[in-house]
Amino acid sequence: MNLRGPAVAAITLCLALATGPAARAEPTTTHETVAIPCAGTDMAVPVDWRLPVGTPRGLIWLQHGFARSNVNIAGLATAFADAGYLVFTPSLPFLDFAGCTLQNLTGNTEFLGAIANLFASAQNPGSALARSFAAAAAHAGRPELRLPGRYAFVGHSAGGEAVEYVAHRLRTDHPGSSSGLQGLVLLDPVKSFVGDNTDRALTDLDSTSLPILTVSGPPSLCNAFGSGTNAVQSLLHRSYVGIRISTGVHTDAEGTSVDTLGSLLCGTPESVNITTLRTLALGWLGDYFTGTRSADYYPPDAPLTDAQTARTAVARVAAAPDAQILSGAS
């Protein structure tokens, strides 16, 4: 009889260990919407939130490319969540005559300005981004989570231009709120055929210390023959602006989430290039949030900020034999 209490307690503890931590052993994905004002109305934009295990290291806005959706970057989003980041992936329209679009086809600057407002007001519990996240946390059974105040932007293809321009609008429209932005990672960025969003954004951001780095593929029809990467190299006056994977394709960022159409039009990613892109992106993001500069993710002669200047090998930057170092304007 005396063993009954301890036995029940032991069984209860075992069940708690089996069901509690195991339930959160993997990041949780929830499907929500976020309200973005455009053309006099609030658009209910579909968004996936990926909640990491434990307290998020920071918030990542991961933006898909032209005529794509968050489904096509699901693998990359999961990799970021696995690394401990809270990931926000909205599916933005690619065609809208009022300009409520990802790429600048009919004038999208005000729409992107509204996205900048999302981040500027994110710490207000009543803001659109905070409400969307609160719904995601509640649906995941984790209402205790709070939206991080520090964030980074990652954009693929036309999404690269979008994150550049939103960063620019944060700086110009909300200078008091832009300190939360830690840096940009551009994945084979592409300029719009209409307007000057890329040039205007990079010209403005060039005067800041905001880290901006790119993993690009070789020039092709799908990346407008390297238009976004060329702009980064010509408008950013920095000795190192990223890496070009010579054997890569435009869909490397989509990785295993690429669909048949993406593969047919822009190529099928090779596993080594998917790994290289993710390794670099995660390495740079880690440095953005910690304020360090790990030598593994930069060429030997790139300026470093700590004792790692003594290191001569470039371990992970050279993971792909055909990787080319990209330099900015002199």
Give the domain ranges of the chain: 28-326
pLDDT value for 297: 86
**Burial track 174-189 (b if 16+ CB lie within 10 A, e otherwise):** beebbebbbbbbbbbb
Spatial separation of the C-alpha atoms in residues 97 and 87, rounded to whole Å? 29
Beta bridge partners of 213: 185
Query: What is the model's pTM?
Result: 0.88
Ranges 59-63, 98-102, 315-319, most confident? 59-63
pLDDT value for 14: 42
Spatial separation of the C-alpha atoms in residues 104 and 123, rounded to whole Å? 28
Give 28-326's CATH code, choosing from 3.40.50.970, 1.10.3720.10, 3.30.413.10, 3.40.50.1820: 3.40.50.1820
Cβ-based neighbour number of residue 90 at 10 Å: 24
Q: Which helix (H) or strand (E) holds 121?
A: none
* Phi and psi based region of residue 242 (left: phi greater than 0; alpha: psi -120 to 50; beta: remaining): left
- The per-residue pLDDT for range 153-178, each reduced to its tens digit, is 999 999 999 999 999 999 999 998 89
Spatial separation of the C-alpha atoms in residues 221 and 250, rounded to whole Å? 9
| Contacts with 234 (C-beta within 8 Å, 6 or more apart), sequence order | 328, 329
Pairing of strands 323-326, 242-245: antiparallel
Between 93 and 315, the higher pLDDT residue: 93
* Phi and psi based region of residue 54 (left: phi greater than 0; alpha: psi -120 to 50; beta: remaining): left
Beta bridge partners of 187: 156, 215
- Residues 164 and 231 sit within 8 Å (Cβ to Cβ): no
Spatial separation of the C-alpha atoms in residues 51 and 35, rounded to whole Å? 20
| DSSP letter (8 states) at residue 84 | T
Instruction: Tell me whether residue 102 is exposed, middle or buried, using C-beta atoms within 10 angstroms of its C-beta: 0 to 12, 13 to 18, 19 or more.
Output: buried
Question: What is the share, in percent, of the chain residues with pLDDT greater than 70?
Answer: 85
- Residues 228 and 191 sit within 8 Å (Cβ to Cβ): yes
